[in-house]
Amino acid sequence: MNRVLPVLTVIGVIVVLWYAAAVWMNRTWVYDQAARDGATVSFAEMVPATLNQERPVLPTPHQVVTELVKSTFGMKVTSKKSLVYHGWVTLSATLLGFAIGTGAGILLAVGIIHNRAMDLSVMPWAIASQTIPILAIAPMIIVVLNSIGVQGLVPKAIISAYLSFFPVVVGMVKGLRSPDAMQLDLLKTYNATGGEVFGKLRLPSSMPYLFASLKVGIAASLVGAIVGELPTGAVAGLGARLLSGSYYGQTVQIWAALFAAALVAAALVAIVGVIEGRVLKRMGMAR
Amino acid sequence: MIWVVLALAFWAGAWATNVWLSHSVVVQSRAGRLLVPALFGVTILVVWEGLVRGLGVPGVILPPPTAIAARIGAEGPTLWADFRQTFVKGALSGYVIGCGAAFLTAIAIDRSPFLQRGLLPVGNFVAALPIVGIAPILVMWFGFDWQSKAAVVVVMVFFPVLVNTVAGLAASERMQRDLMATWGASYWQSLLKLRLPAAMPFVFNGLKIATTLALIGAIVAEFFGSPIVGMGFRITAEVGRLGLDMVWAEIAVAALAGSAFYGLVALVEKRVTFWHPSQRVRN
């Protein structure tokens, strides 16, 4: 509970700084406008004029929140202006890709811990892949799949899948290897088969590692889906809102889409966190 | 068809070799540990080449590795210019500014537990957000050239480094800090001689995460507008012209730059945190 006050203070400071920055960055437009009319504006007149501009350099927080609420609740969800519609387009690609990437990642991790040749050949590449900007392949995947007739949800889901794939592989291998020699020896004295060792010891003890990488993976999936929406030329989705906003100078729209993306990301990570808490508690591993 | 058969034969042979290698004494040595993944990498390239040639996959869908290598050889100057624009000007300057700012911020809030309790949850929250989305805004503010890319990189690397540095500054033990106090060490002496060195493993963890983020930020920011040079620009432009061998060439350069950058930071880490248990030489 003693964290609420500091967090609120920090957020308050950020909001105040944001308003100050908005006044400072938007004032040029107000002064230019006044100079064109041959009038002079005092400081007290300038400040309110910077807070509600149509196309501000930096929209104020209340403008962004108003736009966010308006385009989330104020529209029909099927409307092309509704953030719910665009958010769902991005979210569905994220979730599909996350499911594929996580599933494939867990399977590969199981293969890696049971096959020494696979471990030695694949694992260094999986670790090295974390250091390279794989997101750069996104435009190519979209366009190539488009040219062979695959479009819409699937190409974006593939990008999401490969972004969440590698963190899950690395985390899951670490997790499946986390039981120590003593525990493995104990199961051996019980004459446990390979399948039993896996199901009763390795898999349960990998859960904390799995959830840690799932949190990383789902955030990466969302970034992948958003970036995957850029090269097709702003059709639908949160990434498309960002791009069309930047084409037409609709700064308020960009910020609203950005906030929507942030809320979706926070919600996804929080959902994984809640499931993690439940699962670990049931397993008696909660810290 | 002969290409496909050859590729599959090579794959089977290489896999059998790897299985044999991984159960032999060769992998005990350092060279053996490099040999197995290297052979695996080569196998992928050979199978890729064989399948693309054998099945007649058009170059606009997947060019063979030899075509990509030829393109890297032929377009050296262009790739170098793109590398300089995106990596040296965009990513590297943003990385230095962002990490420096985060480090200084962490030291500035070090004396205030109140600010730390407030900033850490906010920082952790922001670190999980899709920050690349801020790219169109910063491109609008700072123009199409490298300054806007550096700005995106600054924002992207700031929070991971901040959170890790703050965690690191808290890493020294009570006993050690008490010892400094008994020697009458001032705040700054204690910071410089005990707490900053103790924080270094955490700081470098943040710095290593930031290397990848920096390159991603600089490349993705170019998707939103750039001058006619840069890796992100080249990727989008060549994708549009279906010059996929050039796209793969850029991706190869990006991958190389990314791992070299990471390797460099890891090397510095090894020198700086030589005392840490994770850096001990294993025999």
Q: Min CA distance, A198 vs chain B (Å)? A: 22
SS3 letters for B74-121?
HCHHHHHHHHHHHHHHHHHHHHHHHHHHHHHHHHHHHHCHHHHHHHHH
The domain spans of chain B are 2-57, 72-279
Q: How many CB atoms lie within 10 A of CB A14?
A: 11
A to B CB pairs, distance under 8 Å: 168
- Please judge whether B62 and A231 are an interchain contact, meaning their C-beta atoms are less than 8 angstroms apart: no
Residues of A in contact with B239 (CB under 8 A): 139-140, 143, 231
Nearest to B254 among A136, A139, A147 (CB): A136
Does residue A74 sit within a domain?
Answer: no
Instruction: List the structure tokens of B213.
Output: 């983020």
Chain Cα centroid distance, residue B130: 17
Residues of B in contact with A14 (CB under 8 A): 122
Structural domain total, chain A: 2
CA dist., res. B233 & res. B245, Å (int):
15
B192-225 residue pLDDT tens: 888 888 888 888 888 888 888 888 888 888 887 7
Does residue A232 sit within a domain?
Answer: yes
Q: Min CA distance, A135 vs chain B (Å)? A: 7
For helices A138-147 and A203-228, angle between their N-to-C axes, nearest 10 degrees:
70
Given CB atoms, is B12 within the 8 Å cutoff of chain A?
no
> What pLDDT score does A3 carry?
74
Q: End-to-end CA distance of chain A: give it in Å, rounded.
A: 18
> What pLDDT score does A99 carry?
93
B76-134 residue pLDDT tens: 888 888 888 888 888 899 999 999 999 998 888 888 878 878 787 888 777 777 877 88
Name which of B258, B269, B273, B249 is nearest B95 in CA terms.
B258
- Please judge whether A261 and B133 are an interchain contact, meaning their C-beta atoms are less than 8 angstroms apart: yes
- Please judge whether A136 and B225 are an interchain contact, meaning their C-beta atoms are less than 8 angstroms apart: no
CA dist., res. B271 & res. A251, Å (int):
46
User: Which residue of B lies nearest to A223 if distances are taken between CA atoms?
Assistant: B130
Does residue A19 sit within a domain?
Answer: yes
Residues of A in contact with B114 (CB under 8 A): 6, 9
Q: Please check whether residues A98 and A185 belong to one and the same domain.
A: yes
Q: Please check whether residues A87 and A156 belong to one and the same domain.
A: yes
> What pLDDT score does B101 carry?
92
Q: Please check whether residues A27 and A137 belong to one and the same domain.
A: no
Given CB atoms, is B55 within the 8 Å cutoff of chain A?
no
Name which of B103, B83, B236 is nearest B159 in CA terms.
B103
Interface of B with A in 80-119 (CB under 8 A): 114-119
- Please judge whether A117 and B244 are an interchain contact, meaning their C-beta atoms are less than 8 angstroms apart: no
Give which of B28, B35, B36 to mutate to test A binding, by max A Cβ within 10 Å: B36
- Please judge whether B220 and A249 are an interchain contact, meaning their C-beta atoms are less than 8 angstroms apart: no
Does residue A138 sit within a domain?
Answer: yes
Q: End-to-end CA distance of chain B: give it in Å, rounded.
A: 48
CA dist., res. A85 & res. A75, Å (int):
10
User: Which residue of B lies nearest to A124 if distances are taken between CA atoms?
Assistant: B37
Does residue A182 sit within a domain?
Answer: yes
Q: Are B136 and B77 in contact (CB under 8 A)?
A: no
Better-scored residue on pLDDT, A233 or B233: B233
State the ipTM, two decimals: 0.78
Instruction: List the structure tokens of B17.
Output: 């070799």
Phi-psi domain of A197 (left: phi exceeds 0; alpha: psi -120 through 50; beta: other): alpha
Give which of A132, A141, A162, A271 to mutate to test B binding, by max B Cβ within 10 Å: A132
Q: Please check whether residues A136 and A257 belong to one and the same domain.
A: yes
> What pLDDT score does A287 carry?
58
What DSSP assignment string belongs to chain A?
Answer: -TTHHHHHHHHHHHHHHHHHHHHHHHHHHHHHHHHHTT----HHHHHHHHHT-SS-SS--HHHHHHHHHHHHHSS-TTSTT-HHHHHHHHHHHHHHHHHHHHHHHHHHHHHHHH-HHHHHHHHHHHHHGGGS-GGGGHHHHHHHHHHTT--THHHHHHHHHHHHHHHHHHHHHHHHT-S-HHHHHHHHHTT--HHHHIIIIIHHHHHHHHHHHHHHHHHHHHHHHHHHTTTTTS-SSHHHHHHHHHHTT-HHHHHHHHHHHHHHHHHHHHHHHHHHHHHHHHTT---
B5-38 residue pLDDT tens: 887 888 888 778 877 777 777 777 777 777 778 8
> What pLDDT score does B280 carry?
67
Query: How many Cα atoms within 13 Å fall on the side-chain side of residue A211?
Result: 18
- Please judge whether B21 and A255 are an interchain contact, meaning their C-beta atoms are less than 8 angstroms apart: no
Q: How many CB atoms lie within 10 A of CB B115?
A: 18
> What pLDDT score does B189 carry?
85
Neighbouring residues of A278: CB distance < 8 A, sequence distance ≥ 6: none
Q: Are A251 and A55 in contact (CB under 8 A)?
A: yes
CA dist., res. A125 & res. A134, Å (int):
13
Residues of A in contact with B215 (CB under 8 A): 132-133
Does residue A267 sit within a domain?
Answer: yes
Neighbouring residues of B6: CB distance < 8 A, sequence distance ≥ 6: B50, B54
Q: Please check whether residues A42 and A93 belong to one and the same domain.
A: no
Question: Domain residues for A44?
Answer: 4-57
Nearest to B244 among A120, A140, A246 (CB): A140
Query: How many Cα atoms within 13 Å fall on the side-chain side of residue B6?
Result: 13
Q: Please check whether residues A233 and A93 belong to one and the same domain.
A: yes
Only one residue has tokens 């004396």, namely: B111
B213-222 residue pLDDT tens: 888 888 888 8
- Please judge whether A147 and B15 are an interchain contact, meaning their C-beta atoms are less than 8 angstroms apart: no
Q: Please check whether residues A145 and A207 belong to one and the same domain.
A: yes
Interface of B with A in 186-215 (CB under 8 A): 211-212, 215
Burial state string for A220-246 with b = 16 or more CB within 10 A and e = fewer than 16: bbbbbbbbbbbbbebebbbbbbbbbbb
**Which of A57, A75, A92 lies at the terminal end of a domain, its last residue?**
A57
Q: Please check whether residues A95 and A183 belong to one and the same domain.
A: yes
What's the CATH number of domain B72-279, 3.30.870.10, 1.10.3720.10, 3.30.1360.70, 2.60.40.420? 1.10.3720.10
Give which of A26, A121, A159 to mutate to test B binding, by max B Cβ within 10 Å: A121
Q: How confident is the model at residue B282 (pLDDT cuts 50, 70, 90)?
A: low
Residues of B in contact with A63 (CB under 8 A): none
Q: Min CA distance, B176 vs chain A (Å)? A: 27
- The pTM of this model reads 0.82
Nearest to B254 among A6, A7, A133 (CB): A133
CA dist., res. A175 & res. A206, Å (int):
4
We report the CATH number of the domain holding residue A156 as 1.10.3720.10
Residues of A in contact with B250 (CB under 8 A): 136
- Please judge whether B115 and A10 are an interchain contact, meaning their C-beta atoms are less than 8 angstroms apart: yes
> What pLDDT score does A234 carry?
54
Ranges in chain A, pLDDT < 70: 1, 75-79, 231-234, 286-287
